[in-house]
Amino acid sequence: MKWLRRLVILIVLLVAVLGGRLFLGGHSDESAPGATSQVSAATLKDPALIARGKYLTTVGDCVSCHTEQGGADFAGGRILPTPFGNIPTPNITPDKATGLGDWRFEDFWRALHDGIGRHGEFLYPAFSYTSFTKVDRDDALAIFAYLQSLAPVHKPAKPLGLSFPYNVREGLAAWRALYFREGVYQPDPTKSAAWNRGAYLVQGLGHCNECHAARSAFGGTHALPLSGGRIPVQDWYAPDLSSRAHGGLQGWTEQDIVDLLKNGQAAKGAAFGPMAEVVASSTQYMHDDDLRAITIYLQSLPPRAAPAPAGPVPAATAMVNQGAKIYAASCADCHGKDGEGVAGVYPPLAGNSSVLDPSGLNAIRAVLLGGFPPTTAGNPRPYSMPPFAQKLSDADVAAVVSYIRHAWSNDAPAVHQRDVFKYRHTPIE
Amino acid sequence: MNVRIGEVQTVEVGSSHRRGAGGAVLTAVLAILLAWLSPLRAAAPGDNAAPQVPDTLQQRIAACTSCHGVHGEGSPGSGFFPRLAGKPAGYLARQLMYFHDGLRKYAPMEYMVRSLSPAYMREIAEYFAAQQVPYQRSQVPHLPATTLQRGEQLVTQGDPALKVPACERCHGKSLTGVEPDIPGLVGLPYDYISSQLGSWRTGTRAAAAPDCMSEIANRLTPTDISAVAAWLATRQLPADTHALPAGSVTPPLVCGVLAGKGGDGT
């Protein structure tokens, strides 16, 4: 089947290259780099605009992807792993040679809104322009003004870690036809201003759907928005965000959602894995109005279909019994014998979407890695969970995870020892 | 809890009946006092209350202590998780920051500290620096006497031919480290010391430039690394295992971690 997929890719690519050339040919002279910008230099130096841009840049969490571990903020170099290869993020400081120093606002707008680079090339959608296209022009200008106000950092781009056919950018024409709809967010007049603000932030700058929806084999999101999905290669499961029946946040109050985004921890759960990073560098700094707006929007997401019952797993019974013993010995002290947790300190495991996610990924990796929720102004000294990778075998981790997915009100399928083996070796990028 | 409060009230109501008006006032005062006390009492651990979580740093950092020990004593049994107790706080805080920034590469530690603030990392470092627990011995592979002699030579005298200064020159005559940035080398497992020296050669452990430990590790042969690690791990502990006061040594190399101090040649 692999050869068939390759053949299909090749044919699509050939068509796309032709289409892409035509498309870019028709667009290239419209806003050629080097032409004078309609935005004056004075506008970009407006302190109020820069301050607004700083906030919006934080809301968009640009720093997280555009900074490598230990590197200068916004100077790029972080490697984004994808199923198609590694994509290094670019330097977005205003360095002339290696950053955005020579960019005009029009160039920035075309990248953010259309996913097209300064030289007319298609950008890889690892840069989430599928969401950022919804950002309006005023906000984009503020972000650009802020980025241009940063100290320039000279840091050349790292080479693209993609091989054929994915290194042919024209091939993205096909991808774009399937998965990209350009257009600024259009408010829904039947909804409140707060709801619309929340929808704008979640769908646009917040780019929540980039993780919180399943991706197809070609890396696009066609799934129900915010219905949860596995983050490819990084191997975390970003949960469904509906707080209604069968949603991942079922039972979460407005305050719970705000607490998680602002403090990194709520009565119902704690941020860990990639979300800990999002809270640490972005959501904890959001204004209360915006957090409330996001919550109002998320709480309007529709109920979800009931999952198929996990059913009895005969072979798993012995494993679940073994898991119960491990739970009593190693987990119950903090999470409670009935998985009830301690509000705001140790997350409950009963009814917890990270325990119940369809893949079992999050529970397995949380047991292996342990860790701290992010430090925030509201929770500067968080309680932590010990890692168990060095203490429990693959079989024991599978047993205890299967137990907690099955105990109390929980009813999710058992996980396998082979999954634990695999995720034990998932690189932590 | 509430039952006991109720009992006390009943007794007082009974006594007010006997004492008349004065007793009624007393009862009212007591009732107000109890009403004032009850929320506090309800929050105390009770039969059906949630388990109380100690509000201590030790409880908060269970993620650290599960490998490094409640008092940072390390895990000599495994030979890998190093002792943290009594190491200079500046050194420990710096190591956490290095894991955060990827200068030190060890995925479980990098994951652990990635979303922690520098202030919290500093507090955790100070916790372990303040711990005082006895050292424990760990296993050392059987090595020939000549190897141990070579180890002793490198630690106490260095090797001018290799431009390797003696470990003592920086880590102190007693090898217990120097405040605030230089760690002790006593009581560490053989596996840990040899793997760290190896990591400096392969670049999975680094420090602020100029990285003198990297320079030194790269001047040593793999046999020398075994020799140093073995001699250090077998060494008897000095009576006083505390780090020496700041300024006790003049490092022979210019080191980034020491803010560029030192460098009087080897």
Whole-angstrom Cα distance, residue A393 to residue A175? 42
Q: Is A380 part of the contact surface with chain B (CB cutoff 8 Å)?
A: yes
Indicate if the pLDDT at residue A63 is higher than 60. Answer: yes
- Beta-strand relationship, A161-162 and A85-88: antiparallel
Name every chain B residue with its beta carbon within 8 A of the beta carbon of A336. Answer: 50-51
DSSP A169: G
Lowest mean pLDDT, pick from A93-107, A248-262, A386-400, B27-41: B27-41
Q: Given this model, what pLDDT does residue B129 score?
A: 96
Name every chain A residue with its beta carbon within 8 A of the beta carbon of B109. Answer: none
Q: Write down the mean pLDDT value for chain A.
A: 91
Give CA separation, B46 vs A83, A350, A428, in Å.
52, 22, 42
Indicate if the pLDDT at residue A306 is higher than 90. Answer: no
Lowest mean pLDDT, pick from A121-130, A192-201, B120-129, B135-144: B135-144
Between residues B184 and B265, which one has the greater pLDDT?
B184
CA-closest candidate to residue A173, choices A370, A9, A17, A354: A17
Name the percent of chain B lying above pLDDT 70.
Answer: 77
Q: Given this model, what pLDDT does residue A319 score?
A: 86
Phi, psi of A310 (to 5 degrees): -65, -35
B57-130 sits in which CATH class? mainly alpha
Q: Is A346 part of the contact surface with chain B (CB cutoff 8 Å)?
A: yes
What are the residue ranges of helices labelled H in A183-236?
193-203
Domains B57-130 and B145-258 share a fold: yes
**Count of beta carbons in the 10 Å neighbourhood of residue A153:** 18
Q: Which residue does chain A place closest to B103, by CA atoms?
A: A70
Report the b/e string of A313-323 with b at 16+ CB within 10 A: eeebeebbebb
Annotated binding site of A for heme c: 62, 65-66, 208, 211-212, 331, 334-335
Instruction: List, in sequence order, every residue forming a beta bridge with B244; answer none if it has no partner.
Output: B178
CA-closest candidate to residue B180, choices B259, B104, B103, B254: B259
Report the b/e string of B180-197 with b at 16+ CB within 10 A: bbbbbbbbbbbbbbbbbb
Q: Is A264 part of the contact surface with chain B (CB cutoff 8 Å)?
A: yes
Indicate if the pLDDT at residue A73 is higher than 60. Answer: yes
Lowest mean pLDDT, pick from A232-246, A388-402, B17-31, B161-175: B17-31
| Strands across the sheet containing A79-82 | A79-82, A85-88, A161-162
Lowest mean pLDDT, pick from A91-95, A202-206, B11-15, B123-127: B11-15
Do residues A280 and B115 make contact, with C-beta atoms less than 8 angstroms apart? yes
Query: CB distance A277–B67 less than 8 Å?
Result: no
Indicate if the pLDDT at residue A44 is higher than 80. Answer: yes
Between residues A3 and B112, which one has the greater pLDDT?
B112
- Beta-strand relationship, A265-266 and A236-238: unpaired
Q: Given this model, what pLDDT does residue A317 score?
A: 82
pLDDT band at B236 (very low <50, low <70, confident <90, very high): confident
Cis peptide before A314 (omega within 30 of 0): no
Indicate if the pLDDT at residue A172 is higher than 60. Answer: yes
Name every chain B residue with its beta carbon within 8 A of the beta carbon of A384. Answer: 60-64
CA atoms within 13 A on the CB side of B263: 11
CATH of span A193-299: 1.10.760
Instruction: Give the ipTM.
Output: 0.90
Indicate if the pLDDT at residue B8 is higher than 50. Answer: no
Query: CB distance A427–B107 less than 8 Å?
Result: yes
Between residues B6 and A417, which one has the greater pLDDT?
A417
Query: CB distance A70–B100 less than 8 Å?
Result: yes
Query: CB distance B64–A342 less than 8 Å?
Result: no
Q: Given this model, what pLDDT does residue A35 score?
A: 78
Indicate if the pLDDT at residue A415 is higher than 50. Answer: yes
Give CA separation, A171 vs A125, A214, A220, in Å.
12, 22, 14
Name every chain B residue with its beta carbon within 8 A of the beta carbon of A334. Answer: 53, 62
Cis peptide before A152 (omega within 30 of 0): no
Q: Write down the mean pLDDT value for chain B.
A: 82
Lowest mean pLDDT, pick from A53-62, A404-413, B50-59, B115-124: B50-59
The H or E element spanning position A81 is: strand A79-82
Three-state secondary structure call for residue A103: coil
**Assigned architecture for domain B145-258:** Orthogonal Bundle (1.10)
Between A and B, how many residue pairs show a Cβ–Cβ distance under 8 A? 89
Our CA-based measurement puts residue B115 at a distance from the nearest CA of chain A, in whole angstroms, of 5
Lowest mean pLDDT, pick from A16-25, A297-306, A322-331, B133-142: A16-25
Q: Given this model, what pLDDT does residue A7 score?
A: 52
Give the residue-averaged pLDDT of A69-86.
95
* Token pair listed for B111: 């994951």
Our CA-based measurement puts residue A410 at a distance from the nearest CA of chain B, in whole angstroms, of 20
Q: Which residue does chain A place closest to B107, by CA atoms?
A: A428
Query: CB distance A385–B110 less than 8 Å?
Result: no
In a mutational test of the B interface, the residue from A235, A362, A372 whose CB has the highest number of chain B CBs within 10 Å is A372
Between residues B229 and B26, which one has the greater pLDDT?
B229
Q: Is A75 part of the contact surface with chain B (CB cutoff 8 Å)?
A: no
Do residues A359 and B67 make contact, with C-beta atoms less than 8 angstroms apart? no
Name the percent of chain A lying above pLDDT 70.
Answer: 90
Do residues B177 and B85 make contact, with C-beta atoms less than 8 angstroms apart? no
pLDDT band at A74 (very low <50, low <70, confident <90, very high): very high
Structure confidence by residue, pLDDT tens digits, B15-60? 334 444 445 555 555 554 444 444 333 333 334 455 589 999 999 9
Query: CB distance B111–A428 less than 8 Å?
Result: yes
Q: Given this model, what pLDDT does residue B211 score?
A: 93
Give the residue-averaged pLDDT of A108-134.
97
Of B53, B61, B67, the CB nearest to A384: B61
Whole-angstrom Cα distance, residue A225 to residue A223? 6
Q: Which residue does chain B place closest to A425, by CA atoms?
A: B107
Of B53, B66, B102, the CB nearest to A386: B66
pLDDT band at A318 (very low <50, low <70, confident <90, very high): confident
Residue A334, judged by CB atoms within 10 A of its CB (0-12, 13-18, 19+), counts as: buried
CATH of span A316-424: 1.10.760.10
Instruction: List, in sequence order, every residue forming a beta bridge with A342; answer none if it has no partner.
Output: A346
Whole-angstrom Cα distance, residue A399 to residue A392? 10
Name every chain A residue with its beta carbon within 8 A of the beta carbon of B60. Answer: 381-384
Lowest mean pLDDT, pick from A52-66, A103-117, A195-209, B50-64: B50-64
In a mutational test of the A interface, the residue from B60, B103, B104, B115 whose CB has the highest number of chain A CBs within 10 Å is B115
Our CA-based measurement puts residue B161 at a distance from the nearest CA of chain A, in whole angstroms, of 36
Highest mean pLDDT among A11-20, A157-166, A192-201: A192-201
Of A70, A342, A343, the CB nearest to B103: A70
pLDDT band at A304 (very low <50, low <70, confident <90, very high): very high
Instruction: List, in sequence order, every residue forming a beta bridge with A379; answer none if it has no partner.
Output: A376
Cα angle vertex A67, ends A370, A258, to 5°?
55
pLDDT band at B135 (very low <50, low <70, confident <90, very high): confident
Residues 6 or more apart whose Cβ sits within 8 Å of residue A422: none
Q: Given this model, what pLDDT does residue B7 score?
A: 34
Q: Given this model, what pLDDT does residue B260 score?
A: 60
Name every chain A residue with its beta carbon within 8 A of the beta carbon of B117. Answer: 375, 380
Q: Given this model, what pLDDT does residue A141 score?
A: 98
